[in-house]
Structure 1
Amino acid sequence: MGQRAIETFRSCIPLFQALSDPYRQDIILLLADKEPLTVNEITEHLTLSRPAVSHHLKILRDQKLVSNVQKGTQRYYSLELEDATQLLKELIDTVEITCN
């Protein structure tokens, strides 16, 4: 496997780690269905505490899977999947080219 393929795989590790958690998957699916939502609104749909939801949102935000907009005292979270989708497409293209 070429160096480009290895680098592409390595660059996907943080994204895979963020997506591997079932609670973060639940948050993504919830936002896909009902965005935008506040932390409190997300917490109402999960069995997690508000601080735990905030922690998971931070991880998703760090990986650019969600974004937030401040409106008054509330932050509203929405999906932001373009960067992740592009990275995964690059990984698929690289694997197809180097492994076939």
Structure 2
Amino acid sequence: MDAAARAVAEPTRREILHLVRHDERTVSDIAEHFDITRPAISQHLRVLADAELVTVRNEGTRRYYRARPEGLAELTEWMAGFWTSSL
């Protein structure tokens, strides 16, 4: 859960997760949405993959990334504990 929390604490990573939530995307495709370099996007994707928030599929020389919703399950469950029916 700590790795997931650290990963989503960064705004660029949250936006990347938003981009890959429904469709697979390559690093190049993801990078088109940002004003930072592809290597920087790759570093963000590595953090997301290490936190098990995205899956990576290799096809030839391309890597395709997709959100892994179950990766946020533990963090979501923990956060839900703060919202009780009394709130």
* Smaller-chain TM-score bracket: 0.7 to 0.9
Gaps of 5+ in 1: 1-11
Q: Determine which structure has the larger helix proportion and give its number.
A: 1
Map 1:60-71 → 2, pairs under 5 A: 60-71=48-59
Normalising by structure 2, we get a TM-score of: 0.83
Larger radius of gyration between Structure 1 and Structure 2: 1
Partner residue, 1:24:
13
Letter in 2 for 1:31: V
Question: Which of 51, 68, 75 matches 1:88?
Answer: 75
Give 1:45 deviation, angstroms: 1.1
Task: Calculate percent identity across the aligned residue pairs.
Answer: 34
Normalising by structure 1, we get a TM-score of: 0.73
Give 1:62 deviation, angstroms: 0.4
Give 1:69 deviation, angstroms: 0.5
Distance 2:11 2:80 in 1: 27
SS of match in other structure, 1:15: helix
State how many pairs are aligned.
84
CA distance 1:53–1:93, change in 2 (3 Å): closer
